[in-house]
Structure 1
Amino acid sequence: MGIYLTIVFYSAIALVILKLYIKLTTGWCYSQVCLKGKTVLVTGGNSGIGYETAADFAKRGANVIIACRNKDRAEAACEKIKKETHNQDIHYKLVDLSSFASVRKLAEEINQTEDHLDILVNNAGVYNVGNQLTEDGQQLLIQTNHYSPFLLTNLLLDLMKKSKSRIVNVSSLAGMAAKMDLEKLNKYNNFFTDYALSKLCNIMFTIELASRLKGTSVTTYSVHPGTVKTEIIRDSGLVAIVSRSIIRTLFKNATEGAQTSIYCAVQNDLEPFSGEHFEDCHMVERYKSAQDVWIAKSVWAKSENVVQLR
């Protein structure tokens, strides 16, 4: 019994030290930039990182548009942000990122109702959704996480070029573990491989987008928000209970996870670093898997064909 208590004791100490390290290294956006008169669009802004990102923009005085697929959750999020920030310019648009038609409808609405769009945060995403095909014949995960943000961004570019604007693509450290294989993008491999590939696509998309936007008023950045507490693990078994305990102890909360997205959206003087990757509110070297600009161009060409952009 003594040896087990010793193991538990030292494990607890290790967790505390790791938690302190995570807290001390978590980046914070300290910018006081005011967004009054600016219009921002945050996908998945009804919960989690997206909600905290939208709420921060609202505190800065922005006209905030939340895009998500559930009307009740969207309305609840808007009302909560209004109450917390005393900013009444909080609105929502419905979109289903598993449908290209829905994405096109959202873009059409934004282009018709707004005369400028200053910040776009492609935040919404899914993780472990299994082997599901969308109405467009694509794997649900890659369409939601990459193809639809790619399509939405391109459909809004003309509007965004009317002002000095920024596009933030929320990626993940998981992209570091992926090796780009265009043939795998619409095949179900396993949940982690597919998720990692989709997050690598986010980075590659950002690289090529930045290249195409040179000489315009629009810049773009990819971000890793950190490992953030989510509702992914919902089972009630012992392993799930232990996993949730570790997650609560070690992972960032949604406010912490939103900081790098906020930073890339509002921090002054980031324009020269368009196309770069950020973690904990500072620029980092791109993962080895995301350094080939020719692969980035190939991902763009593939995506352009899939979404029938041209």
Structure 2
Amino acid sequence: MRRPTALPMSGRTVLVTGATGGIGRATARGLARLGARVGIVGRDPDRAVAAANAIRQGSPAAHVDVFVADLSSQGEVRRLATEVLATYERLDVLVNNVGGFWATRHVTADGLEHTFAVNHLAPFLLTTLLLERLEASGPARVVTVSSGAHTQARIDFDDLEGERNYSGPRAYNQSKLANLLFTYELARRLGSRSVTANALHPGMVRTGFGAEDQQAAWKVVAPLVRPFLRSPARGALTSIHLASSPEVAGVTGTYFAERRPKRSSPISRDRGVAGRLWQVSSDLVAQTPAG
């Protein structure tokens, strides 16, 4: 009698943020199907439980854990990290998928601009807090969802949080550029250690992206373009590839689209900008209590 073949991610533990819908949920589902134990993070308890149940229905043997946290709050990010470390003796992959778009300027409980806080500072802080566990579990991977929108951005250090001149698209594009600068700098700082760091563009995907605070123009255009957007399952393919494929074992500091390396914008590869952003980000997260 033949023994059942082990699934590719059997014995591995993955944490996916922003996993109650869209690309994040599809990523978690895909990794669960590959045999991983998956932790999903969402801010709404009911949606998180529903997402976990849906993943289990598609993969009855899947081990799915639910973590509830509002990642716009650095206190919540710190609490999440504490819960993850208490739950998982090992962590093989962190998928920084959480992100969003807000047409108008909002301020978080920490007094930070919402887009920058959720899209950049949350993954920056969470990765930092979980890095020791990732290193101890190595070879491990950090996968961060960026966007092709980064090519339209620069880091405005004089008005990083849009206090003087806020634009929803500009804030979003800047945050996606920050994701890449963070990824490349993390890869450089890790060097030859046992954790890789890569980023990706998922493509234009049919999700509820920006639904909380949409631009008026997008409300008109969205129904027209929606049929031409890719499904969340397709949008998740590159995240799943970077989290699981042996083809990218040891590959680090690289930007991917359609599961292939892609050259990112010149500013995203500027080491001086990356180093300055890292220091600014460190200072901003240090301003909140450790718990």
TM-score, normalized by the shorter chain, greater than 0.5: yes
Counterpart residue number, 2:119:
145
1:38 aligns with 2:16: no
**TM-score, length-scaled by structure 1:** 0.85
1:221 aligns with 2:217: no
User: Among 265, 274, 289, which residue is 1:296 paired with?
Assistant: 274
Question: Distance in 2 between the 1:69 and 1:232 partners?
Answer: 15
1:135 aligns with 2:109: yes
Question: Distance in 2 between the 1:143 and 1:70 partners?
Answer: 18
Question: Distance in 1 between the 2:39 and 2:203 partners?
Answer: 24
Counterpart residue number, 1:111:
85
Cα distance change, pair 85–275 in 1 and its aligned pair in 2 (3 A): same
Secondary structure in structure 2 of the residue aligned to 1:161: helix
1:161-216 alpha-carbon deviations (Å, 9 max, x no partner): 11211010000111100012222221252000000000000000000000111121
Question: Distance in 1 between the 2:32 and 2:69 partners?
Answer: 21
**1:22-61 matched pairs, under 5 angstroms:** 34-61=8-35
User: Among 175, 179, 182, which residue is 1:198 paired with?
Assistant: 175
Question: Distance in 2 between the 1:238 and 1:138 partners?
Answer: 26
Counterpart residue number, 2:146:
171
Native 8 Å contact 1:129 1:141 kept in 2: no
Counterpart residue number, 1:281:
259
Counterpart residue number, 1:181:
156
Native 8 Å contact 2:52 2:65 kept in 1: yes
State the Cα distance separating 1:136 from its structure 2 match: 0.8
Native 8 Å contact 2:100 2:210 kept in 1: no
1:246 aligns with 2:246: no
Cα distance change, pair 177–144 in 1 and its aligned pair in 2 (3 A): same
Return the letter of the residue paired with 2:71.
L
1:78 aligns with 2:52: yes
Cα distance change, pair 101–229 in 1 and its aligned pair in 2 (3 A): same
1:94 aligns with 2:72: no
Question: Distance in 1 between the 2:210 and 2:99 partners?
Answer: 16
Secondary structure in structure 1 of the residue aligned to 2:246: coil
Counterpart residue number, 1:20:
none
Return the letter of the residue paired with 1:121.
V
Counterpart residue number, 2:98:
124
Identity of aligned residues (%): 35
Native 8 Å contact 2:200 2:239 kept in 1: yes
Secondary structure in structure 2 of the residue aligned to 1:168: strand
Return the letter of the residue paired with 2:232.
A
Aligned pair count? 277
State the Cα distance separating 1:254 from its structure 2 match: 0.3
State the Cα distance separating 1:242 from its structure 2 match: 4.9
Return the letter of the residue paired with 1:169.
T
State the Cα distance separating 1:33 from its structure 2 match: 6.5
Native 8 Å contact 1:33 1:266 kept in 2: no
The root-mean-square deviation of aligned C-alpha atoms, in Å, is: 2.0
State the Cα distance separating 1:91 from its structure 2 match: 1.1
Unaligned 5+ segments in structure 2 are: 1-5
Question: Distance in 1 between the 2:258 and 2:223 partners?
Answer: 23
Cα distance change, pair 115–291 in 1 and its aligned pair in 2 (3 A): same
Question: Distance in 2 between the 1:150 and 1:221 partners?
Answer: 13
Q: Which moved further from structure 2: 286-295 or 150-159?
A: 286-295
Secondary structure in structure 1 of the residue aligned to 2:111: coil
Question: Distance in 1 between the 2:151 and 2:141 partners?
Answer: 24
Secondary structure in structure 2 of the residue aligned to 1:65: strand
Cα distance change, pair 298–271 in 1 and its aligned pair in 2 (3 A): farther
Question: Distance in 2 between the 1:286 and 1:113 partners?
Answer: 36
Question: Distance in 1 between the 2:221 and 2:169 partners?
Answer: 20
Cα distance change, pair 97–233 in 1 and its aligned pair in 2 (3 A): closer
Q: Which moved further from structure 2: 270-279 or 195-204?
A: 270-279
State the Cα distance separating 1:87 from its structure 2 match: 2.4
Secondary structure in structure 1 of the residue aligned to 2:286: coil
Counterpart residue number, 1:11:
none
State the Cα distance separating 1:270 from its structure 2 match: 2.0
Unaligned 5+ segments in structure 1 are: 1-31
Question: Distance in 1 between the 2:65 and 2:78 partners?
Answer: 19
**TM-score, length-scaled by structure 2:** 0.90
Bigger radius of gyration: 1
